[in-house]
A and B are shown apart, each in its own frame.
Chain A
Amino acid sequence: MQTRGNIELANIQQELVRLWETLEGTNKIRACLFNLIVYTCDEKRADYFQSLIRLVVDRLPCRILFVKGSHSKEKDNIRTTVSAELSGSGDAVIACELITIEASGQHLERVPFVIVPNIVPDLPVYLLWGGDPTSEDSNFMPLQSIATRLIFDSECLSDLPSFSRRLLAKQSEIRPEIADMNWARTRGWRDVISNVFHNQERISHLNDSSEIHIIYNQKETESFHHCHTQAVFLQGWIAAQLGWQLKSCELINDQLHFLYASKDREVNVLLKKGFVDCHSPGTPLELNVQTHGGHHFSLKRQPESKVVRISISSPESCELPYKMLLGRLTVDQSLMNEVLYENLGEHYPNMVRLLGSISCQLV
């Protein structure tokens, strides 16, 4: 990795040119598929985003503009570094450009003025907003106005329902399409669930649910504290797509209880904590559905694998268990594809609308 630190803002392009000149004649291929702006004012999550950038660079070459902001008035400056991030080996080492901007105090509001001239034209601009975009950060609106897609990291949100309500209220002002990292992470489970409940009969069983338990991986790390988020999304997605009405939501004994009305029945949804060290924080581990008619569906992720074991039984019979994969590609690749490329459809906004109707605190 070639790096030049603390360069003048006016010299960013010059430094990039110089960087590539030093790499010329080596086996490095310069490539760029899109622009990725990563913006965070949470110092604690900066390392997490750095690792995310690494993940992206390893899969998809791009120009990254990484903004590490601070609202602190103690520091009041703006610094820039430029580097080439390398991935691959042998004859196919791909080099991407990383422009890191650290801004604090009054200089933070200058960030859009630094970002805009350094976008690679004609390529998509993805804005990964590492904060609550509905909070008052004056950089959000100018940056989202140039973005093709806005990516949230709902891990940064302490109050999902409140965020959902504010997001719905601001929908008309937000220009680009919206993606959500945690929503993307639930893709594998959503695919599995939709494959299990794949026909009218199975959907009717789901609508006949009396209890749904979702166990999620309560594995807190420095970067992950809101481990319940994916589970909340998953149950909210099921409820929204099936048209259930939320009646109540409570936090009892550190477990989230949701009560839905499904036609003339009630559905209790319980989110429970689990722990499996080898799986990612917050990932759903198990989904169990018990219906009023005595059917039972168990979807359980196997330890140390991306396989979900599915067991289905009824009062009359017990089906042979079978397995499904959580996504056909690696989790990382599917995350990238989901976040950067997939059509978002209506499921996410439907789920957000439902979450917006939750009135209780989720933590």
Chain B
Amino acid sequence: MQDIFLNPLAESTQSTKTATPCVLVIFGATGDLTARKLMPALYNLAREGQLPAHFACVGFARRDKDHALFRQEMHDAVSRYSRVKPVDDKLWKTFSEQLYYHQATFTDAEGYQRLKVFLENLDKELGTKGNRVFYCSTPPSYFPNIMQMLGENGLIYDAHNEEGPWSRVIVEKPFGHDLESALDLHRHTRKYLDESQIYRIDHYLGKETVQNLLTFRFANSLFEDLWNNRHIDHVQITVGEDLGIGTRGHFFEEAGLMRDIVQNHVMQLLSLVAMEPPGSLRANAIRDEKVKVLESIRPIDLQRFEDHCVRGQYQAGFINGDNVLGYREENDVAKNSAVETYVALQLYIDNWRWAGVPFYIRGGKRLPKRATEIAIHFKPVPNVLFGQTRGPQDANILVIRIQPDEGISLKINCKVPGMSNLVQPVKMDFRYGSYFGAAPPEAYERLICDCILGDSTLFARSDEVLASWRLCTPILQRWAENQPQEFPNYKAGTWGPKESDHMLAKAGRSWRLM
């Protein structure tokens, strides 16, 4: 990994990486993401000794507060949201002394000029050597402006000057609204930043179980020979949430599920499942292979659109013991909203490995349970020996559980003890919790740490994002041009509209019951 500092005094077997001094500036530090994810992540990195020795975090936001108030608020947030509780008071004292607050607006150049001075003073005081990470924890509409301000006020350095300090910018999804806006954002960003300085977060890539996809596939010889169209009947990828849209009505009305989950998280999972083995574990080696997959996905045939794309919207139902409202009854949602809360797609990857293998993708809100899984359905055996083996439902299934109950299971068939040849499916099961005991780090911990280290493996590259938009934009356009007549079309607490079942039933398949 090209940007990692290799300590000549470190043992070659040492697995921990060493991060260089830096300041992390969080734009939108008074927002929800900082409280729930970023600050707890930083605290836990500090707790595990993963932060640089010389480090500071500056919250940049509009609200009027001072360092002390910001530190107190962050203490409350970490107390509430950290994966490890209670907060260690001694550690917090040291950690909080590295937290600062800078009041300014995103659009005012004067605020950035003051920021620059402030950061230079921190460099002198704390030895952070001018290295910068800028985290845009803001609504996406602010990204272009922030990057412009950073660039125009000397806060972004030349990426090609390897002797000097470095600067990096982390942005959160969505990266654009469709292909055209994504291209615009990309062009605008490239005016001020080199691609190597942009870290596009998809927090799914920070999950241990997603990272394990590469290890599982390429550290085990057992599966690679089977990982193709000769042995695999189809693949199902499900990203299901039992929650509704909560307080994100405004955002969701603009975005919909395709933009919220499918265009990013699902496409990342698909590319990791389907990619070819990379030549190395360097960031671009892996990302090159992911892009190849995305670019091999067959564009949706608009003549047979309904055969490949299903959308849905939840109505009132019952989840986890509670009555829940329908989508159109949620706050900040139009009573006649046409926004989808469920998407199911049938995709094909046109390459030698996957030709003819359908990838069934589904994502949805207010499904019966929260579950993200990848299910590899192998082809059934010829039905000549065991009359009980009746078809696809008895075929072997390898399931990679991304969340919750992280792990991997394999469904196989066994003989029922007794005098006959009855066959019973059983499961071989690996659970992270059972084997590894301690809870793995949160996704944001790994991602922030990797950005500080300069490792972009777990961040989306521009061509990945654009390839994904090329696939999804025609679908979004088609839906925008054709208002749904039947919304809402599935009850909260069920697995989606019946059209989604029909999409698989036409090919003699069915969604796996999760």
- Which A positions have Cβ atoms within 8 angstroms of B? 8-10, 32-34, 78, 110, 113-114, 116-117, 119, 121-125, 146, 148, 328-329, 333, 337, 341-343
Q: Is the interface of A mostly helix, strand, loop or mixed?
A: loop
Shortest CB-to-CB span from B346 to chain A, Å, is 21
Selecting from B61-69, B109-117, B300-308, B421-429, the interface stretch reads B421-429
B153 located at the interface, meaning its Cβ lies under 8 Å from any Cβ of chain A in the complex = no
Which B residues between 490 and 514 are near A, CB-CB below 8 angstroms? 493-495, 512-514
Contact A341 to B495, CB < 8 A, known contacts A121-B512, A122-B397: no
The digit string for B402-434, where 1 denotes a CB below 8 A from any CB of A, is: 000000010100001011101011110000000
Contact A125 B513, beta carbon cutoff 8 Å: yes
Contacts A116-B513, A121-B512, A123-B426 supplied; 6 other A-B pairs, CB < 8 Å:
A10-B322, A32-B427, A78-B321, A114-B321, A122-B409, A342-B422
Number of A-B contacts (CB under 8 A): 64
Neighbour of B425 across the interface among A117, A123, A333, CB < 8 A: A123
Expressed in whole angstroms, the Cα–Cα distance for A78 and B318 within the complex equals 13
B220 located at the interface, meaning its Cβ lies under 8 Å from any Cβ of chain A in the complex = no
Contact A113 B418, beta carbon cutoff 8 Å: no
Contact B319 A122, beta carbon cutoff 8 Å: no
The 4 closest A-B pairs by CB, nearest first: A9-B321, A10-B320, A117-B369, A117-B368
Contact A123 B427, beta carbon cutoff 8 Å: yes
Chain B hits for A32, CB < 8 A: 427
Contact B514 A121, beta carbon cutoff 8 Å: yes
Expressed in whole angstroms, the Cα–Cα distance for A329 and B419 within the complex equals 9
Contact A122 to B418, CB < 8 A, known contacts A113-B368, A117-B369: no
Chain A hits for B424, CB < 8 A: 33-34, 124, 341
- Which B positions have Cβ atoms within 8 angstroms of A? 242, 317-322, 368-369, 387-388, 393, 397, 399, 409, 411, 416, 418-420, 422, 424-427, 493-495, 512-514
Chain A hits for B426, CB < 8 A: 33, 123
Contact B513 A113, beta carbon cutoff 8 Å: no
Contact B321 A10, beta carbon cutoff 8 Å: yes
Contact A122 to B320, CB < 8 A, known contacts A117-B368, A329-B419, A341-B422: no
Neighbour of A343 across the interface among B320, B388, B495, CB < 8 A: B388
Contact A124 B425, beta carbon cutoff 8 Å: yes
9 A-B residue pairings within 8 Å (CB atoms): A114-B321, A116-B495, A116-B513, A117-B369, A121-B512, A121-B514, A122-B397, A124-B425, A341-B388
Contact A341 B416, beta carbon cutoff 8 Å: yes
Closest to B320 in A: A10
Chain B hits for A337, CB < 8 A: 416, 418, 420, 422
Contact A148 to B422, CB < 8 A, known contacts A122-B409, A122-B512: no
